């Protein structure tokens, strides 16, 4: 029997005995040494990196501004056709009832009468000159000179309101009556004291005074009353308003 052992057998015995622990110890040492070198390498790399200056420009990207969120368009409550149909079928507002205006009553027609009963001694003449016996010249005459005895009653030719009473240097005592409708009558050459006052309302035929002799301009004529009629301030022929005799 051959007792010669090979190196493989010896190595196997060694590993099976105390060599096993030695191999484990060597492995652990190798692992520890490898780990130490690994840690040192990492630390050195970090130090080199920290020592290097930072280069390059930092670019700050513009942050896009917030865009307003578009609001959805309001949905119409009704389609145009429906809205138009509703407007056409909607009942119209009833018109308010306005009270009928009260008609203004037409003024009562004026009834004229002659202020005195007598003959016309001088007629109306504003377009042609008439001879004045007192002054001895030719001039216009804006009324009628109606003959009447001195002291005879003088009547209002139509209804109205006494608007003026005064003494005129040429025509003597004068009474004016406003008949409305733009008409004013004048009575001159009256006695000094008429029987009416300003503001008195008179009717057709109301006594307003008496025939006098106060008109210096017509003192050359026989006793009379001077009667004139103005429309809108302009003289008109009284004969066009007085009744026919």
Comparing 158 with 221, the larger pLDDT belongs to: 158
Mean pLDDT of 14-27: 69
Using only C-alpha atoms, the chain has a radius of gyration, in whole angstroms, of: 69
DSSP annotation of 211:
B
pLDDT digits (tens, 9 = 90+) for 223-232: 999 999 999 9
Instruction: Tell me what pLDDT residue 106 has.
Output: 72
Distance (Å) of CA 221 to CA 115, 119, 151, 235: 18, 13, 16, 22
* Token pair 């190196």: residue: 7
Which residues partner with 138 through β-bridges? 131
How many Cα atoms are found within 13 Å in the side-chain-facing hemisphere of 183? Answer: 20
Residue 187 has pLDDT above 80, yes or no: yes
Confidence of residue 92 (pLDDT cuts 50, 70, 90): low
Does 71 or 119 have the greater pLDDT score? 119
131 vs 141: CA distance, rounded Å:
9
The closest alpha carbon to 189, from 170, 172, 167, belongs to 172
């Amino acid at each position: 029997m051959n007792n010669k052992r090979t190196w493989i057998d010896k190595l196997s015995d060694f590993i099976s005995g105390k060599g096993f622990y030695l191999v484990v110890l060597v492995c652990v040492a190798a692992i520890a040494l490898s780990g130490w070198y690994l840690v040192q390498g990492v630390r050195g790399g970090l130090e080199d990196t920290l020592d290097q200056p930072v280069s390059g420009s930092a670019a700050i990207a513009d942050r896009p501004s917030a865009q307003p969120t578009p609001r959805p368009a309001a949905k119409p409550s009704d389609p145009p056709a429906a809205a138009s149909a509703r407007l056409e079928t909607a009942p119209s507002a009833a018109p308010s009832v306005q009270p009928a205006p009260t008609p203004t009553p037409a003024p009562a027609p004026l009834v004229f009468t002659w202020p005195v009963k007598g003959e016309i001694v001088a007629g109306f003449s504003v377009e042609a000159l008439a001879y004045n016996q007192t002054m001895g010249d030719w001039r216009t005459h804006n009324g009628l000179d109606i003959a009447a005895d001195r002291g005879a009653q003088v009547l209002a030719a139509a209804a109205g309101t006494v608007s003026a009473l005064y003494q005129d240097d040429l025509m003597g005592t004068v009474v004016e009556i406003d008949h409305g409708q733009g008409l004013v009558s004048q009575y001159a050459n009256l006695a000094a004291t008429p029987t009416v006052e300003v503001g008195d309302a008179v009717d057709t035929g109301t006594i307003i005074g008496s025939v006098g002799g106060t008109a210096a301009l017509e003192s050359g004529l026989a006793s009379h009353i001077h009667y004139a009629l103005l429309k809108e301030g302009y003289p008109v022929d009284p004969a066009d308003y007085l009744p026919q005799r």
